[in-house]
Structure 1
Amino acid sequence: MSNKGAFYTKKYNNLLKEFGYSDQEIEEKINQCWSAIFSNADLKFYQETENNMAYITDTGNDDVRTEGMSYGMMAAVQMDRKDIFDRLWRWTKEYMYQPEGKYKGYFAWSCDLNGNKNFEGPAPDGEEYFAMALLLASNRWGDEKAPLNYSEQAKEILNEVVHKGENTPGNPMWNPDNYLIKFIPEVEFSDPSYHLPHFYELFARWGKQEDKEFWLQAAEASREYLQKSCHIETGLAAEYAEYDGSPRFKEGHGNFFSDAYRVAFNIGLDAEWFNKDPWQQQEASKLQNFFYDKNEFTKYSIDGTALEKPEYLHYLGLKAANAAVSLAGKNKYTEKFIHDFWESELRKDERRYYDNFLYLFALLALSGRFRIY
């Protein structure tokens, strides 16, 4: 692997090919996964509607979430599907966008399938993925008239998440003193899986000039935060964590469970794009060492203690993320995780939304196709 990230070299690692899979096999696997999400009549959770719109259903909760809509947009820009991207963004702006009040400029994190808001407040992981997808779309396809003026839409989102509350009602999504993303704007704790320093590096370059320093500080703060929140021996992070990185148990999310699986993917992609933090290679080894001999999963405390076995929701998402972290650095476990990931079947049940998205993202990342445009 290069000692510089793809942002600088313009070269992306294809670990799937390196570990024995042909270009044709990889292409077929990506197309199969794309179809399961967007076109297969029996499996898809992408639904087109009138007025040239579309939404993504969280099949486990039967609603539409900013997480899923932004994931769908990111997948579409990576796969060069402007038609799908635009349909999803139109639905998002029509039904999820908040035009007034304390959440003005934010997006309601959950709507029903008809577009009625289930909750008024936002979830910051949606906003950061919307902004990144829109900036990549602008670079790949160019801006059009609103709401397809992608770069301006992204800059408006980024302005709100940083400056909300300065001259308008509401709270920002980032703490202005420590540069850390919040779980929701009203609280003062975080979610380690929300931390996307590789996005913040690009927000600094492509967002508003006056916020460049903020986003560079946010990238640095997030990398430091991930080191604090990932356990020093196991590499596991909690779903929610305090600003000092310690697990937050108050809401019942202080252990390693569903949200936290994404941390491994995010670390792998940050290493692939920017490769600024040598700790990430150590983290990859710790995670893969921890999961190497586990054939079944449960909920874990971040020190690795197996807790009571709950309804296990997202085993495929965990496999995908643990394979994608290999982009941070190969080790003696990498081959097993790549092959286990490749041999895993896409989910067909009601929990397929989260898992199949993470599987697609891992496929794109591990084949060098999750790119900066």
Structure 2
Amino acid sequence: MLILCSAQAAASDGWNRYKATFLSGDGRIVDTGNNNVSHTEGQGYAMLLAVHYDDRDSFARLWKWTSTHLSNPQNGLFYWRYDPAAANPVADKNNAADGDVLIAWALQRAGEKWNNADYLAQSDKLQRAIVAQDVVTYAGHTLMLPGAQGFNKTSYVILNPSYFIFPAWRDFARRSHLKVWNQLIDDGLDVLGEMQFGASQLPLDWVAMNADGSMAPATAWPPRFSYDAVRVPLYVWWYDAQSLRLTPFQRFWGNFSRLRTPAWIDVIANESAPYNMDGGLLAIRDLTLGDTGNLTESLSERQDYYSASLQLIVWMAWQER
């Protein structure tokens, strides 16, 4: 009983520290590593965590701020970025598909856990908008583009594999019975198998898929397996912890001792970051390699928003195994 109480206290401490550090009074998640902006990714992660920690009040605040400040009435999605210092905080009217998926997933989970019909209805509506605006058939594959605007170049499309949130798509398929979600899962896993670049055989943060299905680095970004693509093994593991799609990550990270694992690698030049993983990045590495004894939801005071979010999301995934 004492051990259980201690575990519960630690759980509460991790989530409470997260809220105290990143959640404003009105329900906005502040990205402390990015000029204190907010974005749908952060709102979605925090909403998922609020459901996990059974925190209805925080969830309601997060959802109210998100729906009030980021809703795009033109297409049913959400503006991806909010800059409180700008004259127009949502100057960029595009969405981010991963943020929308995370929000829809959190709403579905909240509705199911707390028997809230409105949350479920909002999730269903958002899921339909995501399919209508972000999902395309290209080169024989059903794919989710990173956003509704700017990623379909006709002769090629730009993909961000860290936006392939397989466990969310599985939950959407279970609820809606729409075939598109299972098609996204199957084709997303297939496409990941082709995103193996350089000697490391790792995917890039941003990838161009040509009309014939071939892959190349997207030219507007460095050819790195970095802060975006590091989430790919997390979402694959959360969907299927035995998936062969985890092998390239396990092989690469297995070459380094735990605390000397580089934070990113330029997969074309085969040059690693001059600093190592810690915090949330290290948690993903530990989960992927089965080094789960190191997983914790205790956050350090120096962690920024992204590191802390990933660490708690990894813990959530591990608890759901």
Instruction: Determine if the TM-score, normalized by the shorter chain, exceeds 0.5.
Output: yes
Distance 1:226 1:298 in 2: 21
1:224 aligned partner: 190
Query: What is the letter of the counterpart of residue 199 of structure 1?
Result: A
| Counterpart contact for 2:202–2:225, Cα < 8 Å | yes
Superposition deviation, residue 291 in structure 1: 3.6
Query: What is the letter of the counterpart of residue 107 of structure 1?
Result: F
Distance 1:245 1:33 in 2: 43
1:37 aligned partner: 18
Question: Is 2:125 aligned against 1:176?
Answer: no
| Counterpart contact for 2:29–2:43, Cα < 8 Å | yes
Comparing both structures, which one devotes a greater share of its residues to strand?
2
Alignment of 1:252-271 (within 5 A): 252-271=221-240
Secondary structure in structure 2 of the residue aligned to 1:348 = coil
Structure 1 unpaired stretches of 5+: 1-21, 164-171, 327-333
1:205 aligned partner: 174
| Counterpart contact for 2:162–2:230, Cα < 8 Å | yes
1:83 aligned partner: 57
Distance 2:221 2:300 in 1: 27
Q: Compared with structure 1, are the counterparts of its residues 24 and 363 closer, same or farther at alpha carbon in structure 2 (3 Å cutoff)?
A: farther
Distance 1:72 1:313 in 2: 26
TM-score w.r.t. structure 2 length?
Answer: 0.84
Superposition deviation, residue 189 in structure 1: 1.3
| Counterpart contact for 1:162–1:173, Cα < 8 Å | yes
2:77 aligned partner: 106
Q: Compared with structure 1, are the counterparts of its residues 56 and 314 closer, same or farther at alpha carbon in structure 2 (3 Å cutoff)?
A: farther
2:205 aligned partner: 239
Distance 1:247 1:239 in 2: 12
Q: Which has the higher contact order (CA 8 A, sep 6+)?
A: 1
Alignment of 1:280-359 (within 5 A): 280=245, 282-283=247-248, 285-292=250-257, 295=260, 297-302=262-267, 305-307=270-272, 309=274, 315-326=278-289, 334=290, 337-342=291-296, 346-349=299-302, 352-359=304-311
Structure 2 unpaired stretches of 5+: 152-156
1:7 aligned partner: none
Two-structure CA RMSD over aligned residues (Å): 2.8
How many pairs are equivalent? 305
Q: Compared with structure 1, are the counterparts of its residues 139 and 358 closer, same or farther at alpha carbon in structure 2 (3 Å cutoff)?
A: same
Secondary structure in structure 1 of the residue aligned to 2:134 = coil
Per-residue CA deviations over 1:85-132 (Å, capped at 9, x if unaligned) read: 1111111110100113xxx21111111348931421111110111111
1:6 aligned partner: none
Query: What is the letter of the counterpart of residue 362 of structure 1?
Result: V
Distance 1:74 1:175 in 2: 26
| Counterpart contact for 2:260–2:277, Cα < 8 Å | no
Give identity over the alignment, percent. Answer: 22
1:57 aligned partner: 30
